[in-house]
Amino acid sequence: MDNLHLSGRYYLPADALVRRHVESSLSRTFETWGYHEIIPPMLVGLGMAQLGPDGLGNSGGTNSSCGSNAAGYTERSGHDPEGECTSYVVLTRDGNLLTLCSDLTTPVAALAARHLLSPDEPARLYYSGTVFRAQKPGSGKPEERRQVGAELIGRSATGVQADAEILSMAAEGLINIGLRDFCIGLSDAKLLAAILDAAGARDDTRERIRSALAARDYVLYDELISSLDDAAAGVELLRRLPHLHTRAEIQEALRTAGVCEPAEELVKTLDVLDNRGLGRYFRPDLTITRRFRYYTGVVFEGYAPGCGGAVIGGGRYDNLLACFGASVPAAGFAVDVDSVALALEALDGPEALEGGSRRWNQRLWTNLESYEVVRSRH
């Protein structure tokens, strides 16, 4: 009977109910913005999976190389330097290697490039699905997680207005789910690259600094900064990076290090969000760098009380579509449904300990007018 164990992740009625609420609420939000649903595959070629954690781009986001190498992968793949990569690899009957998706942005980008791009309007797409990512042994993190995401892809999907569209929709989605007090931190991949250049960080040290920031390993981060030449203009800025919180002190620190120009679009995007009445949900955070290497511009992560991981994350990835024959800009994000469920549970306080589906039935509602009220605020 040992071979009859339940090996995948599952949700019992109370947990399934709240996750369906999250997914359906996000779907309605995306549709009010004119986004259309797409259903991505669960299995993709191993080469496509490798475009994610390590295979595409560098910290500056300027490398559009799309090569990959399947050598060295076994039934359960090894870890990338940041602790997450392809989790399961399948050998098909015809000898090809496929993998369960560790990231849904890449297959959605591939489908858009092959079927959905228009010279006039960008493709506005949303999706839901399960991703599988290898975790460090003993971390307690599940390898299987639900995601809902949205992508803006096309020739006109560029600039501050496109970034602001994605960020506004991200905040509105979390509001419509029922979250309160969440905060989305913003940075820019080009800005971090400029800071690392100013600090004289090169090659392996550069990538290790990125990885330490992505993993929030500030002990390792401090050690790596200490190995740099203190005479370089950007070293002091790197040292202060985790301690810069307000827009004014960040702008002053960037000015001192001589890297103001790469921050200009980020500042403009924050101004647009302020004008839309959403500024209180966002703050600049120059320590943010995403685990997936295809990001080239704005990057962001959102957190909410009650869960240790990010409830949302995403950014701009203008080089990824070139891997599929379409050199067009793009931006998007994914919501971690399980993290959102934890944050919603924390809102209930002591009632969260009672369990059962009744407490969710009391608070789950489908009032379409509420979505229009939120939209009218900005």
CA 348 to chain centre: 27
Please report, rounded to a whole number, the percentage of residues in the chain having pLDDT higher than 70.
79
3-state secondary structure of 331: strand
Strand 144-153 to 123-132 pairing: antiparallel
Q: How far apart are CA 362 and CA 200, in angstroms?
A: 56
Per-position DSSP letters for 102-136, written without gaps between them:
S-SHHHHHHHIIIII--SSS-EEEEEEEEEEB---
DSSP class of residue 312? E
Reported confidence tier of residue 2, pLDDT bands at 50, 70, 90: low
Domain extents for the chain? 9-42+104-131+143-376
| pLDDT (tens digit per residue) in 265-286 | 999 999 999 999 999 999 999 9
Query: 308 or 330, which is more confident?
Result: 330
Average pLDDT score over the chain: 83
DSSP bridge partners of 131: 145
Render the burial of 220-233: b for 16+ CB within 10 Å, e for the rest. Answer: ebeebbeebeeebe
Residue 366: predicted pLDDT:
39
**Least confidently predicted of 5-19, 223-237, 242-256:** 5-19
Q: How far apart are CA 190 and CA 317, in angstroms?
A: 11
Is the pLDDT confidence value at 346 over 60? yes
Task: Tell me which residue of 84, 270, 310 sits closest to 188, measured CA to CA.
Answer: 270
Residue 66: predicted pLDDT:
62
The 183-188 sheet, strands edge to edge: 36-37, 123-132, 144-153, 330-336, 312-316, 298-303, 183-188, 282-284
Query: 376 or 197, which is more confident?
Result: 197
Reported confidence tier of residue 215, pLDDT bands at 50, 70, 90: confident
Look at the chain and count its residues. Answer: 378
Is the pLDDT confidence value at 38 over 50? yes
Residue 337: predicted pLDDT:
97
Residue 14: predicted pLDDT:
92
CA angle 128, 315, 124 (to 5 degrees): 50
The CB density around residue 63, as the number of other CB atoms within 10 Å, is 14
Q: How far apart are CA 369 and CA 90, in angstroms?
A: 46
Residue 104: predicted pLDDT:
94
Task: Tell me which residue of 161, 144, 141, 162 sits closest to 153, measured CA to CA.
Answer: 162
The CB density around residue 111, as the number of other CB atoms within 10 Å, is 20
pLDDT, average across residues 302-308: 92
Rank 48-57, 189-198, 362-371 by mean pLDDT and report only the highest. 189-198
Is the pLDDT confidence value at 153 over 80? yes
Q: How far apart are CA 200 and CA 183, in angstroms?
A: 32
Q: How far apart are CA 46 and CA 39, in angstroms?
A: 19
CA 115 to chain centre: 24
What is 9-42+104-131+143-376's CATH number? 3.30.930.10
In sequence order, what E strands does the chain have?
A: 36-37, 43-45, 89-91, 97-100, 123-132, 144-153, 183-188, 282-284, 298-303, 312-316, 330-336
pLDDT, average across residues 352-365: 37
Is the pLDDT confidence value at 325 over 60? yes
Per-position DSSP letters for 197-255, written without gaps between them:
HHTT--HHHHHHHHHHHHTT-HHHHHHHHHTS-TTSTTHHHHHHGGG--SHHHHHHHHH
Residue 8: predicted pLDDT:
78
Residue 150: predicted pLDDT:
98
**Least confidently predicted of 49-53, 221-225, 286-290:** 49-53
The 97-100 sheet, strands edge to edge: 43-45, 97-100, 89-91
Is the pLDDT confidence value at 369 over 70? no
pLDDT, average across residues 211-230: 92
Reported confidence tier of residue 3, pLDDT bands at 50, 70, 90: low
Q: How far apart are CA 9 and CA 2, in angstroms?
A: 18
Is the pLDDT confidence value at 376 over 50? no
